[in-house]
Amino acid sequence: MESFDSSAPRPLAHIPSIPIFDPLEFNRSLPSSQYTLIKTDDLRIMYKEIGRVQAYLHNLIKHGDDAPSLVIDDSKQAKPPAVERVPPEILSMIFEQAVPPQTDDENPRETHHLAEILLPGQICRLWREAAITTPSLWSSIYFNFSFPQSSVEKMVDIATTCIARAKSYPLSVCLWTQSDTELTQYRPIIAVLLAHSHQWDNFIIECPGGLRKNAHEEIQGATGRLLMLRRLKIPCRNIEDWGSFDTFLISPKLRIVHLRNYGVEPWHEIGQFPILPWRQLQQITFAGYVADALELLRMSPSLQVFKASVVGHSEGLHHVHHAFLLEVSVESIEDGAASELFGAVTLPALSSLSYAGEEFPRDAITSFVQRSKIEQSLHTFSLALYERRDTPLIPSSNITECLERMPCLSQLSLHDLSKRYTDTGPFHSGDISSICELLEPRPILPKLKRFSITGPPQMSCVYLALMVKARWRHAAGGLVRIESVEINYSRAMRTCEIIHDSDPCSH
């Protein structure tokens, strides 16, 4: 029998490894990677305690009565709070969900103020350390160049700190300025940003009136270094020679651009367009003339999404046939502009169409759908009609006749706060809800699943409820049951999710 005073400790028992159990099935279970992080940290604490107990037992066997002096009194040790037992990786994930990085938002948020960057001592140490070591939290940089020049030094400190903490994470940079702002005074900030232009993922210059002449030269230092740039938004006014502005031509990952040329000379008339890698672009948002919009479509054969706010009238527009465009959104800033655009394009792959304007170009949209032969492939249609003083009266059948050309729609959105419809009835007074009255008794849009309607505060939902109930009762007759109905008033919203095995919503 081995003596108690043996110098070589022996294992008291074999402790098998504890497997990581599969994530529990909740309504929204954690991703396996996050669940593993939590369980791994729990196991680390567990094995640490097991090791401490093993060490004590070995000492008890070896030292006998002297062992109690080696016992650690747990009652004198304060147990760490639960927040301190959360792995830092999980804290980083929580912070990223609360403050997502700037990517595709139309209106970038303002970069952290200096006080926020310093992270004052009132913040929990663990939270502060986790925040500082989470690169995505510092990857969005927004500067307002309308501030006094005295703030330039602070801006440089903020930019330097944010970029250092972002490490190699892709950067989103937004610069806001006025048209009369001289950018030369902000060169120290621009220099810091240009030094990391190889990390730019999203670059935006917001300038309502357009940049000063030759101001684009301030960012030409990024030429040839934009290997990660994916999204671009720049003002396109006051550029005398587009041939000298090729900063973004070599951007192999550029896919999304926002351009504006409204109120100045049309590009197609001067024969100059921004120098960009057009053939690789997948999404363009453009505000300007119809003829320029058509030329952008022609230059971008890989385009999948096109959003245009159009003005102007032209004669002899060249027709454009685009084989790959999937989604189109058109806003008519001037009456007739959208009709000209719809009349000059053929889009056989289109599945989503949106229109917004003061008038409804029924004939132009109907002809466009028929010409493109997308009656069976168009799945989403959104219509928003704006109010104006002399809103023309129309019958709601103008809209339903257009919808009849889109029998495979599964999603429909209607927005109109005016009372332009000549329909009469006990439950509506000429508002957009009259559309529902015409949809209810007729098998229009048999595949409709999601429906959204926005109207004035006095809009009645009676016809909408009748339409939903009718489609539930006649579901076996070829009409798909509506799954979701969203009712919006001017300042309120009510959403109803309809479950297939329950009664339809009545509001």
- Rounded mean pLDDT of 391-395? 83
pTM of the model: 0.79
pLDDT tens digits, one per residue of 374-389: 999 999 999 999 988 7
Cα torsion 154, 160, 164, 169 to 10°: value is 110
Which residues on neighbouring strands pair with residue 175, listed in sequence order? 143, 205
HEC sequence for 226-252: CCCCCEEECCCCCCCCHHHCCCCCCCC
Better pLDDT: 98 or 493: 98
Confidence of residue 4 (pLDDT cuts 50, 70, 90): very low
Confidence of residue 39 (pLDDT cuts 50, 70, 90): low
Contact 219, 177 (CB under 8 A): no
pLDDT at 127: 83
Confidence of residue 472 (pLDDT cuts 50, 70, 90): confident
Q: Out of 8-12, 53-57, 162-166, which region has the weakest mean confidence (pLDDT)?
A: 8-12
Is the pLDDT confidence value at 17 over 50?
no
Residue 128's closest CA among 117, 142, 136, 140? 117
- Provide the token pair at 401: 């006749």
Which residues on neighbouring strands pair with residue 232, listed in sequence order? 203, 257
Highest-scoring range by mean pLDDT, 62-66, 97-101, 347-351, 357-361: 347-351
pLDDT tens digits, one per residue of 123-155: 778 888 888 898 988 888 888 887 666 688 888
Residue 112's closest CA among 104, 124, 101? 101
Contact 454, 418 (CB under 8 A): no
- Provide the token pair at 148: 């006094």
% of the chain residues with pLDDT over 70:
73
- Rounded mean pLDDT of 43-54? 77
Residue 450's closest CA among 405, 414, 421, 417? 414
- Rounded mean pLDDT of 449-461? 89
The shares of helix, strand and coil residues in the chain, as percent rounded to the nearest 5, are 35, 15, 45
Is the pLDDT confidence value at 54 over 70?
yes
HEC sequence for 453-487: EECCCCCCCHHHHHHHHHHHHCHHHCCCCCCEEEE
pLDDT at 131: 85
Residue 274's closest CA among 237, 230, 225? 237
